[in-house]
Amino acid sequence: MAASHRQAGPPAAREERDPIHPLSHPETHDRVPGLLWAYAGGGDGPTVRLKPQEIAAAMAGRAWVWIAVDLIDQRVHDWIRAVGDLGPAASALMAGLESAPVLEHEAGALHGVFADFSIDFLRVSDSIGGFAFAVRDGLLVTGWRHPLAGVDAARRALDDGARPVSSFAILAAIVAGFCRTGVQRLRTAETELDQVEDQLLAAQAADERKSLKGVRRLALALHRPVTAMTRLLREAAEEADLPPAGTLALDEMATRLDLLDQSVLTLMDRAKLLQEEVAAELAEQSNRSLRALTVMTALMLPGTLVVGFFGMNTGGLPFADSAAGTVGAAFLWAVSTFVFWRILVRTGALRF
């Protein structure tokens, strides 16, 4: 049995609806440890949520079944292997849940790990998590250890009446949810860049390097997994022997991710240019401050020389026996400082 394996580097690093958690459905959790939900649909019938005892019948009579499990519960792995008839490679992958994007194919099926935005405290965060999946014609099994935004968006779409045509289409919907969340994050980052750019153009540049670093960190966190997933999908589309629905879903996911990556690259380039411009502006401000300090120090040199000269405890000092000696020394200090200042002006040393 031929199989291909590709693995990419690790991924870096707010929708308001609550994600489904296994503890929110204790009756389901008690019957099948780790089961989050199961849906079935296809054909002319509606999409329905399944009870654990209905899953086997739905797999025989429905066009597709989606089973989602919590991989933190170790007891779920044997049940997945039994009910889904997953191969050893897919079972091992879901049990391990690699941190990097992975995609393998064998005998018309796909299994791997894709990236998605994590949900922290019921809000979508900027951190990137991952979910494991195994998909073939008629069955999609997904698993994760933390709530994820794209997965939850696909689940909500089914609750709202969506009717995917295949199990591969559900996987494509999850990736589409991840891409939509990524676009929202990029729009927020673009707003931050607009504010930085406005301050630069208004000559009110502050140290915005922290904001720019946050934008670049988000862009890098997205760019790494998105690039890896796009490459894996393109390779699988060329090499895998999948049904037409699977090939169509691979092309759709790759296209969405490619468009997202183009937006990420554009944001990265813009953030990098603004960061360089802010750094240049801050360096210019520092240079002006240092130059002003240097000029002030230079203007004090004539007075320092005068004070040092008259401060010598030697005989024959000018004005030593005169009642107006202090006034004379001060006048000499003022004249020398003025002459030195004029020299600096004529040589252009006082230009800022």
pLDDT digits (tens, 9 = 90+) for 57-86: 888 888 899 999 988 887 887 777 777 677
**pLDDT band, residue 28 (cuts 50/70/90):** very low
Model confidence at 174, pLDDT cuts 50, 70, 90, reads very high
Closest CA relative to residue 229, chosen from 331, 112, 73: 112
In the chain, where are the structural domains located?
4-280, 292-347
Put the strands of the sheet holding 35-42 in their side by side order: 4-7, 102-106, 109-120, 123-136, 139-144, 64-70, 35-42, 45-49
Is the predicted pLDDT of residue 189 greater than 60, yes or no? yes
Span of 77-86, 155-164, 181-190, 220-229 with lowest mean pLDDT: 77-86
Q: Comparing 310 with 228, which gets the higher pLDDT?
A: 228
Which amino acid appears at position 109 of this protein? A
**What pLDDT shows up at residue 267?**
92
Confidence at residue 314, expressed as pLDDT on a 0 to 100 scale = 73
**Is the distance from CB of 217 to CB of 128 less than 8 angstroms?**
no
The pLDDT value recorded for residue 95 is: 72
Question: Which of 16-20, 41-45, 180-184, 332-336 is least confident?
Answer: 16-20
Half-sphere exposure of 32 (CA within 13 A, CB side): 23
Q: How far apart are CA 180 and CA 203, in angstroms?
A: 35
- β-pairing, 35-42 with 109-120? unpaired
pLDDT band at 97 (very low <50, low <70, confident <90, very high): low
Q: Which two tokens stand for residue 206?
A: 């502050």
SS3 content of the chain, % helix, strand, coil (to 5): 60, 20, 25
Task: Return the CATH architecture of domain 4-280.
Answer: 2-Layer Sandwich (3.30)
The more confident residue out of 137 and 80 is 137
What six digits make up the tokens of 130? 């991952």
In this structure, the number of other CB atoms found within 10 A of the CB of residue 340 comes to 17
Highest average pLDDT, of 121-135, 140-154, 186-200, 267-281, comes from 140-154
pLDDT of 18 over the 70 cut: no
Average pLDDT, the chain: 81
Alpha helices in 33-126 (DSSP H): 55-61, 76-84, 88-96
Lowest mean pLDDT: which of 101-110, 240-249, 316-325?
316-325
Tens of pLDDT, residue by residue over 229-276, are: 999 999 998 888 888 999 999 999 999 999 999 999 999 999 888 888
pLDDT at 154 > cutoff 60: yes
The predicted structure's pLDDT at residue 14: 35
Report whether 39 contacts 48 (CB < 8 A).
yes
Query: Which DSSP state fits 204?
Result: -
